[in-house]
């Protein structure tokens, strides 16, 4: 075994090139698992922060295929359900758009919707204000607007106090929201007070989306009665969803993609093992004289076999260590860039090192066996 390690150290360039394939495969697997673990930790943190008991109610399609409307009193009707803890709503202001200035092309809406909102919306959906302030009892009656995170970016507005041209009149931005995990539609919205939307923008007071929170144990029961409660006459025209399910689906998609990428990493690892086997076969052919001399001095077949097996395993383990370091560095850098929690994929590290050692051992079996079977006289004669 000592002689095998000397063989690795005595040929550093060949050792590095042989271990490179193993390193790439292990680095890929560790990085993928590290990034996936960080993504899942981020999703779990979001769910823990905003909860999984949020339900949304929106208007669906009527019998004739056109867009239906939720009743004006639907929010108060939802509030009557016993397990409901809080409820709020937004309503789309049809025909109103928001622009950076009154000189902007009317067709360049940027995909930003104007919505009337109730004051308790942030509490229900878990929204936080990044800059400025939320609407209050005074500003809800005047031309003040709060922008979602995506809407502010598309309008090029970074600070409150900036005027925007909304519904053919000027409004003042009083706040900018942080991204909202469970209500991404709010990120692309310009939110105005319910009262000012009715008086200045022609809002019809029909809510478009209702957000409701209940106790965790009662979510399923509340979901089953929401449609009939909101619109008793036409419950089939009401759509009820649970936003947290989208995050769970995202986790499932991430897991599927992870398995695919791990398969690619495993292929790279196998290619690296073939490279190690090829290197060891060439090494046996080049060192026939060394093998013959050692056999002539008394080394047995088992010792020759162990020497070359040790060399192959050492090459793979060196690649595994290097790949693990690269994979951890890549996953850490990605997590820091995405502001995810730092996670250490311990199982991935151990699995990567174990796979590298196993592939190195398997790749070295044939060359080591071939070296052990070389007759001493024939090997010395080949010199």
Nearest CA to 38 among 318, 348, 378? 348
Residue 192 in tokens: 């105005």
pLDDT at residue 253 in the model: 61
CA distance 259 to 201: 51
Cβ atoms of 38 and 330 within 8 Å: the answer is no
Mean pLDDT per 10-residue interval, the chain, length 383 residues: 72 76 82 79 67 82 68 90 91 93 90 95 92 94 95 94 94 95 90 95 93 85 89 85 65 66 71 76 76 80 84 84 88 85 78 82 82 72 61
Helices (H), 137-216: 149-155, 184-187, 194-200
How many CA atoms lie less than 13 Å away from 146 in the CB half-sphere? 30
Buried b vs exposed e over 259-280: b needs ≥16 C-beta within 10 Å? eebbeebeebbbebbebbbebb
Count of residues making up the chain = 383
pLDDT at residue 335 in the model: 85
Cβ atoms of 164 and 173 within 8 Å: the answer is yes
Cβ atoms of 155 and 98 within 8 Å: the answer is yes
CA distance 116 to 189: 10
Helix (H, G, I), strand (E, B) or coil at 102: coil
CA distance 93 to 78: 22
Catalogue the E-assigned strands of the chain.
Answer: 54-59, 84-92, 98-99, 113-117, 129-132, 144-147, 163-166, 169-177, 189-193, 209-214, 238-241
pLDDT at residue 99 in the model: 95
């Amino acid at each position: 075994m000592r002689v095998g390690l000397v063989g690795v150290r005595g040929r550093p360039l060949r050792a590095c090139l042989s271990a490179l394939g193993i390193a790439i495969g292990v680095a890929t697997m560790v990085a993928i698992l590290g990034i996936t673990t960080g993504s899942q930790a981020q999703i779990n943190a979001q769910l823990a922060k905003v909860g999984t008991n949020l339900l949304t109610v929106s208007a669906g399609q009527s019998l004739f295929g056109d867009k239906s409307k939720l009743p004006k009193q639907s929010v108060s009707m939802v509030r009557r359900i016993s397990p409901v803890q809080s409820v709020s709503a937004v309503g789309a202001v049809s025909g109103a758009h928001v622009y950076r200035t009154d000189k902007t092309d009317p067709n360049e809406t940027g995909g930003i919707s104007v919505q009337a909102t109730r004051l308790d919306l942030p509490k229900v959906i878990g929204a936080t204000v990044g800059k400025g302030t939320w609407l209050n009892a005074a500003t809800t009656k005047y031309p003040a607007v709060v922008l979602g995170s995506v809407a502010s970016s598309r309008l090029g507005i970074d600070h409150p106090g900036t005027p925007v041209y909304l519904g053919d009149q000027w409004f003042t931005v009083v706040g900018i929201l942080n991204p909202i995990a469970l209500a991404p539609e709010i990120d692309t919205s310009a939110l105005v007070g319910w009262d000012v939307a009715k008086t200045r923008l022609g809002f019809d007071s029909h809510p478009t989306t209702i957000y409701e929170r209940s106790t965790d144990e009662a979510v399923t029961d509340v979901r089953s009665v929401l449609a009939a409660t909101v619109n008793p006459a036409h419950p089939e025209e009401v759509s009820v969803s649970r936003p947290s399910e989208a995050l769970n689906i995202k986790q499932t998609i991430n897991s599927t993609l992870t398995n695919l990428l791990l398969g690619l990493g495993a292929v790279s690892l196998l290619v690296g093992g073939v490279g190690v086997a090829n290197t060891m076969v060439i090494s046996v052919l080049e060192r026939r004289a060394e093998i013959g001399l050692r056999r002539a001095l008394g080394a047995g077949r088992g010792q020759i076999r162990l020497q070359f097996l040790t060399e192959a395993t050492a090459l793979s383990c060196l690649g595994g260590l290097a790949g693990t370091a690269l994979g951890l560095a890549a996953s850490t850098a990605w997590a820091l860039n995405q502001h995810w929690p730092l996670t250490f994929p311990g199982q991935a590290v151990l699995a990567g090192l174990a796979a590298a050692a196993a592939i190195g051992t398997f790749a070295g079996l044939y060359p080591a066996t071939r070296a052990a079977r070389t007759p001493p006289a024939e090997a010395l004669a080949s010199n």
